[in-house]
Amino acid sequence: MWQATAQVNYETREEIPAKYKWNFSDIYENWEAWEADFKAISEDMKQIQSFKGKLGESSENLAKMLKIQEDLMKKAYKVYQFVSFQSTVDQRNMELMAKLQQVQLLFAQFGVATAWISPEMIQIPEATMKEWVTTNPGLKDHKFDLMDMYRLQKHVLSEEMEQLLSYYSQVTGTAGSVFTALSTADIEFQEVELSDGKKVKVTPGVYSQIVTNNLNQEDRKKAYEALYDVYYKNKNTYAAIYNGIVQANWAGARAKNYESCLDAKLEGNNIPKDVYLNLIKTVKENTAPMRKYVELRKKVLGLEKYYGFDGSISLTDFNKNYPYEEAVDVVVESVLPLGKEYQAKLKNATESGWLDVYENPGKRSGAFSAGVYGVHPYMLLNYDETLDYVFTLAHELGHTMHTTLSNETQPFATHGYTIFVAEVASTFNERLLLDHMMANTKDPNERIALLTQAIEGIIGTFYAQTMFADYEYQVHAMVEQGKPVNADVLTNVWGGIANEYYGDVTEKTKYSNYPWTRIPHFYNSPFYVYQYATCFASSAKLYKDVMEGDKKDRKAALERYITLLQSGGNDFPMEQLKKAGVDLSKPETIMAVINQLDELVDQLAAELEKVKKS
């Protein structure tokens, strides 16, 4: 299936062929077109202001104002992302950074200029609003949000207070921007010499290659120490940044009359607090399958001491590169169970300038998919030809398809799906890829690598993210209680949780308790990560429904699943999942993933034994 090729590396972005880079012209043909929309947003703001004090007079006034606001937001998506995407792949470009600040300033002005809207709308009696939504077609698309407004009424402040808070919107985002600048534009990665005499600069992408492919434990250790030392040396700065973020979250929560930061994050989407807390409790109490896997790895690898940086190396003599084009073909083939139409849309995404594939100097690390309503999603990769990145490709294409289907089906008012369901499609795609590759390989070593990938997927997406969620919860609780937060405190919190998860099955190093310094979600998306775990549990249930049982039941389950991806934000996410067949309030939904891990570890042990005997 796969052809052995040399690893693709590019020294500059200019060297990368256009087919592997984003096509920004799908958003705007040129900067003049961008500038026109940028200016038009200011005009839209003026029009919105003309409705101040008039929203309660008639449903027509409300509908007209919402239409102007919607047109403004459509432009805003394009104006922001056109700059943001270009800056993402060229963090060192100060001209782009300046334009990004321009856009952020405009959005801050928008927040101030529209602070009166929510307080004025909430003065419209609920019964009146129900009647308006029923009788005015211009309000039909906004029904869900308009009626949900009354549920959140106690968190809507007076016009003066809302305006005051809006002044701080840029300030509260500053800490996240500082983290990004420190971790990308200003970071200086270290160079190490490996056992073969080769010298490499250990960027996150290079680190991933080494710990995945290099069989020499000492080389892996060198790469690990070189990468983490960069973050370790800035630990006090990272702690100050994170403290700023948590303090801002707590200030915002109190200002809006929430009892805690967690309540502030959950109540908007009507997520029960118990879903979060029970997830943390259930996973923490059931770490045995994960520890069993670590013990198996240590034994098979024949290591006297086992470290975290030993967690990605293959358990067999398997060190294959997966060329990008072939990875795309296999991912496209793997999604056929979701229908030919889904498959065709996914294939189109890989061929049309939607993906930015390879690492280049100044480019943000990691991977993501972000939509531009009325255009298409844009997907960032730093593809490194590892098996792990083949699964990342499938994962991010799941997000891309979710966004595509939602945008095609939903009006703008309800096109945006919540974070709570955002990881369902991505992890579903990963499972499809696993089964496809397992069914199409005759190489026993690749089967072991794939089972390892599946296990690592559960540990990384389910266990680790729940661990991260526990960390966020504990640190925010400390700030809420007025306790100090510094590098030592954060390191101790991390170390305590890590010990509960792993105990003594892995060795400790100088850097063991410092991963909190470099996890972007903590700084950019607080209280996001727990949803990886809940989504993983949801997608596991949906996958079983779609792939198992009789033909009629599978077809109905597939229709429910596609409907979920098309539903955007037209209902509360817990309700959307229930319609698709998942109830996250039931402990068995969480335990199903834990039991699945236990079975996979046993299956892996059996496969390893077969290879050993042969």
Please confirm, yes or no, whether 396 is among the known catalytic residues. Answer: yes
Cα atoms found within 13 Å of the Cα of residue 15, Cβ hemisphere only: 9
Ramachandran assignment for 489, one of left (phi > 0), alpha (psi -120 to 50 degrees), beta (any other): alpha
Q: Is 495 exposed, middle or buried (0-12, 13-18, 19+ CB in 10 A)?
A: middle
Distance CA 540, CA 532 (A): 12
- CA dist list (Å): 299 to 46, 292, 304, 609: 68, 11, 9, 12
Distance CA 373, CA 442 (A): 43
End-to-end CA distance of the chain: 23
Distance CA 527, CA 472 (A): 7
SS3 547: helix
Q: Which token pair is 19?
A: 């087919």
Q: What are phi and psi of 195, to 5 degrees?
A: -65, -20
Strand ranges (DSSP E) for 129-246?
A: 191-193, 199-201
Give me the sign of the Cα torsion angle 90, 93, 94, 96. Answer: negative
Residue 92: how many other CB atoms lie within 10 Å: 13
Query: Cα-atom radius of gyration of the chain, to the nearest Å?
Result: 25
Closest residue by Cα to residue 325 from 397, 382, 393, 404: 393
Residue 167: how many other CB atoms lie within 10 Å: 12
Per-residue DSSP letter, 364? P
Helix (H) or strand (E) holding 356: strand 355-356
Give me the sign of the Cα torsion angle 35, 36, 41, 47. Answer: positive
- CA dist list (Å): 48 to 58, 71, 491: 15, 11, 48
Give me the sign of the Cα torsion angle 502, 494, 524, 86. Answer: negative
Helix (H) or strand (E) holding 355: strand 355-356
Distance CA 560, CA 100 (A): 40
Closest residue by Cα to residue 141 from 73, 242, 189: 73
Q: What are phi and psi of 133, to 5 degrees?
A: -60, -35
Among residues 225, 267, 396, 472, which one is catalytic?
Answer: 396
The two most distant CA atoms of the chain are separated, in Å, by: 81
Would you say 12 and 360 are in contact if contact means Cβ atoms under 8 Å apart? yes
Distance CA 174, CA 595 (A): 42
Ramachandran assignment for 522, one of left (phi > 0), alpha (psi -120 to 50 degrees), beta (any other): alpha
Q: Which of the residues are catalytic?
A: 396
